[in-house]
A and B are shown apart, each in its own frame.
Chain A
Amino acid sequence: MYRRIAILIMLLVPSFSFANDCNNIKRPNLILINGIWNTKGQAEVSLSELKDKLRKTSTFQSYSSVNLLHNETHGVVQDLVDVLIQKAEEQPSAEKNIISLVNIALIRGYGSIYDMFSAVVLDPLLSVFTTSEIKTAIADLQKAATYSDYIDTDFEDIVAQFYALGAGNSSPILLMPHSQGSIYANQLGNYLKSKGFTNIEAVAVATPANTVLGWTSDMLYVTHDSDGVINMIRFIFKSVLPSDLPGTGHEFVNDYLSDTPSWAAIQQCLALAVSRLSAKTLNAPFSYTTFSSQTNVNFDLVVSSSTGFDMILGMQQETSVTSSSAGVASYCPCATPTRPTVYVAFAVPQGSSQFTQFKSQYTTFDDFQYADHATGNLLPTSSGSGYMLNSISVDSLGKVTII
Chain B
Amino acid sequence: MLIKLLVTVSILLSSLSATGCACKRISVISPQGGVSPVSGRILPPEPDPAVNKATIAGVDSNNDGLRDDVERWLDATYGVDKKKLSGVRKYARERQKDIAEIELITQDTRLTYSKNSLKAIDCFLETHKDESWETQQGILEIISQTTFNTLRRIKIKHESDKKFSGLLTGLSKTEEAVKCAEE
Contact A45 B140 (CB under 8 A): yes
- 0/1 string, A101-118, CB within 8 A of B gives 1: 011101110001001101
Complex contacts, B144 vs chain A, CB 8 Å:
41, 103, 106-107
B105 to chain A, nearest CB (A): 11
Question: B131 in the interface, Cβ–Cβ < 8 Å?
Answer: no
B50 to chain A, nearest CB (A): 16
Complex contacts, A102 vs chain B, CB 8 Å:
148, 154, 158
Question: A73 in the interface, Cβ–Cβ < 8 Å?
Answer: yes
A96 to chain B, nearest CB (A): 10
Contact A99 B168 (CB under 8 A): no
Contact B165 A103 (CB under 8 A): no
Question: B178 in the interface, Cβ–Cβ < 8 Å?
Answer: no
- Contact A47 to B5, CB < 8 A, known contacts A85-B155, A103-B144: no
- Contact A103 to B168, CB < 8 A, known contacts A115-B4, A119-B1, A122-B5: no
Within 8 A of A (CB), among B102-135: 114, 117-118, 121-122, 125, 133
**How many angstroms between the C-alpha atoms of A49 and B155 in the bound complex?**
27
Question: A139 in the interface, Cβ–Cβ < 8 Å?
Answer: no
Contact B167 A108 (CB under 8 A): no
- Contact A48 to B145, CB < 8 A, known contacts A69-B168, A88-B151, A104-B8: no
Complex contacts, B168 vs chain A, CB 8 Å:
31, 67-70, 158, 161-162, 165
A side interface size, CB within 8 A: 55
Within 8 A of A (CB), among B143-183: 144-145, 148-151, 154-155, 157-158, 161-162, 164-170, 172
Question: A363 in the interface, Cβ–Cβ < 8 Å?
Answer: no
- Contact A66 to B170, CB < 8 A, known contacts A103-B141, A104-B141, A107-B137: yes
Contact B151 A85 (CB under 8 A): yes
**How many angstroms between the C-alpha atoms of A72 and B163 in the bound complex?**
9
- 0/1 string, B52-83, CB within 8 A of A gives 1: 00000000000000000000000000000000
Question: A198 in the interface, Cβ–Cβ < 8 Å?
Answer: no
**How many angstroms between the C-alpha atoms of A289 and B80 in the bound complex?**
56
Complex contacts, B137 vs chain A, CB 8 Å:
107-108, 254
Name which residue of chain B comes closest to A52, CB basis. B125
Name which residue of chain B comes closest to A104, CB basis. B141
- Contact A48 to B118, CB < 8 A, known contacts A70-B164, A107-B144, A254-B133: yes
Question: A228 in the interface, Cβ–Cβ < 8 Å?
Answer: yes
A285 to chain B, nearest CB (A): 33
Within 8 A of B (CB), among A250-270: 253-254, 258
Question: B51 in the interface, Cβ–Cβ < 8 Å?
Answer: no
Contact A48 B121 (CB under 8 A): yes
Name which residue of chain A comes closest to B153, CB basis. A99
Question: A218 in the interface, Cβ–Cβ < 8 Å?
Answer: no
Given contacts A78-B162, A82-B158, A162-B168, 9 further A-B pairs with CB under 8 A are: A49-B125, A99-B145, A103-B144, A104-B141, A108-B137, A115-B4, A116-B5, A248-B3, A253-B133
- Can you list 12 pairs linking A and B with CB atoms under 8 Å apart? A45-B140, A48-B121, A66-B170, A74-B162, A85-B158, A103-B148, A103-B154, A104-B12, A115-B1, A119-B5, A248-B3, A254-B137
Residues of A within 8 A of B (CB): 31, 39-41, 44-45, 47-49, 52, 65-74, 78, 81-82, 85, 88-89, 95, 98-100, 102-104, 106-108, 112, 115-116, 118-119, 122-123, 154, 157-158, 161-162, 165, 228, 248-249, 253-254, 258
